[in-house]
Amino acid sequence: MYVRTMHPARTMDRGERDRDGVSDAARLVPHGLVALGALALVALVAEWLAFGMLDGTTAPRQLVGEFLISLALAAALAYGGYWITTRDYSVDLYPRIARWCLCGLLGFLLFNLLIMMISPAPTPRANVAWARGTAVLGAFGGLLLGIVEARSIQRARRAERAVARAEYAERQQQWFDYLNGLLRHEVLNKANVIEGYAALVAEDVDDPVLRERLDVIRRNSDEMAEVIEDVRVLIHATEEPDELSAVDLVPIVRNAIADVRDRTERVHVEADLPSDAPVSADALLPRVFSNLLDNAVEHSDTGDVAIDVTIDEHPDEVLVTVSDDGPGIPDDERSSLFERSDNTGSTHGLGLYLVRHLVDRYDGDVALTETGPGGTTFTVALPRADTANDGDAPDESPLR
């Protein structure tokens, strides 16, 4: 089967298809089916009047029986017209349903007319009733066939759009992989070169103004590297995770604490960690806690930063709390704290967004549990694993 490749954004949904290239007659099909149902009852009454069925000589039971049967078929036709408007059938499929209904009506009627020509009913009225009944019954059968065909076409269209979206997603993933490599091997390497040369120059410069400017260069190149690393992790985090495994959380948190201590002397971290804490995660887990600790340092308004990290084990989950002594988070920022930010300030706006994205990846939860002038506390809850991987941090090779 040939499947046309299209951009998902260009794939017309039902509303777009209704507005583009669909005649007004197509939109009248449901009304026509309702009218056909009503016409079936009118034909019955006209038949009764034409043959004097309402003059009191015909048994009421016969009239009631004919009326109920005709009413059921007429109601089915009318309801069919309403029903197709409640489904997700595209309006351009309505004429197909109408053609099936009309072909069923004419085809079944002509077939029975041939039978009547060979072996007619005993009375003219019986022949007319026969023809009327077969026409209505044929219309209803055609309506059912038209609905079945419309459903099949709609499913085929969905499958086509799904294939197109899958192909587009694959191309996007290939593009992301290319950008990931470009960021790492081109931009990140150049940022590291800039930071390295700035550090070398700073060793031979005594002018405090120049040293301050070199510090700005080093700080910005370091922040650029952090942005690239977070973007890289975020690209991998959008992929479906491989099977999660048991990972010891303690060395991961300990390494994150050591990293933040090494970057600046003004950070003081107190940690209360158990001997081990197995959780269900993968190689991206370290970025959760490095970003939480970096967030505490970046938003501190004091010279020294005091951070407390605690791991508490529970039967089904492991809780990690990260508390700082910063100024707290303003009220107007709390509701969007874990959303992606478009700010262009000193932070790139991916830190907490990436934390939430990764924690969701592990079926965990992250929350702002306390904030105010005395500091802020974040709590991360991760599913507890049955066993740990020998107490080692997960291999980060998939990101390299």
Q: Give residue limits of the domains in the chain.
A: 8-169, 178-230, 242-399
Which of 272, 328, 326, 282 has the alpha carbon at shortest distance from 303? 326
- Cα of first residue to Cα of last residue in the chain, in angstroms, is 39
Q: Which residues contact 18 (CB under 8 A, 6 or more apart)?
A: 27, 90, 91
The answer as to CATH 3.30.450.40 being correct for domain 242-399 is no
What is residue 342's predicted lDDT score, i.e. its pLDDT? 56
Which of 26, 114, 394, 90 has the alpha carbon at shortest distance from 233? 394
Say if CB 300 and CB 346 are below 8 A apart: no
- What does DSSP say about strands 305-313 and 267-272: parallel, antiparallel, or unpaired? parallel
Name the phi and psi angles at 386, rounded to 5: -70, -40
Q: How far apart are CA 365 and CA 317, in angstroms?
A: 10
Q: Is the pTM of this model over 0.95?
A: no
Element (H, E) at 277: none
Neighbouring C-beta atoms of residue 290, cutoff 10 Å: 23
Residue 83, CA distances (Å) to 17, 33, 79, 87 in order: 19, 10, 6, 7
What is residue 133's predicted lDDT score, i.e. its pLDDT? 92
What is residue 88's predicted lDDT score, i.e. its pLDDT? 80
Q: How far apart are CA 48 and CA 250, in angstroms?
A: 89
Say if CB 131 and CB 116 are below 8 A apart: yes
What is residue 317's predicted lDDT score, i.e. its pLDDT? 92
Neighbouring C-beta atoms of residue 153, cutoff 10 Å: 15
Say if CB 283 and CB 398 are below 8 A apart: yes
Name the phi and psi angles at 310, rounded to 5: -135, 140
Which of 284, 258, 283, 369 has the alpha carbon at shortest distance from 320? 369
Under DSSP, the state recorded for 391 is T
Under DSSP, the state recorded for 240 is P
Q: Which residues contact 13 (CB under 8 A, 6 or more apart)?
A: none
Q: Which two tokens stand for residue 38?
A: 């009503």
pLDDT profile of the chain (400 residues), mean per 10: 39 44 77 91 90 80 89 92 87 91 94 94 91 93 93 91 88 75 71 80 81 81 72 64 83 91 81 92 87 82 83 93 88 81 51 85 91 90 73 44
Say if CB 131 and CB 109 are below 8 A apart: yes
Say if CB 132 and CB 43 are below 8 A apart: yes
What is residue 399's predicted lDDT score, i.e. its pLDDT? 43
Residue 98, CA distances (Å) to 43, 166, 204, 295, 313 in order: 20, 34, 87, 63, 66
Q: How far apart are CA 80 and CA 74, in angstroms?
A: 10
What is residue 341's predicted lDDT score, i.e. its pLDDT? 61
Say if CB 290 and CB 322 are below 8 A apart: no
Say if CB 141 and CB 96 are below 8 A apart: no
Chain length of the chain: 400
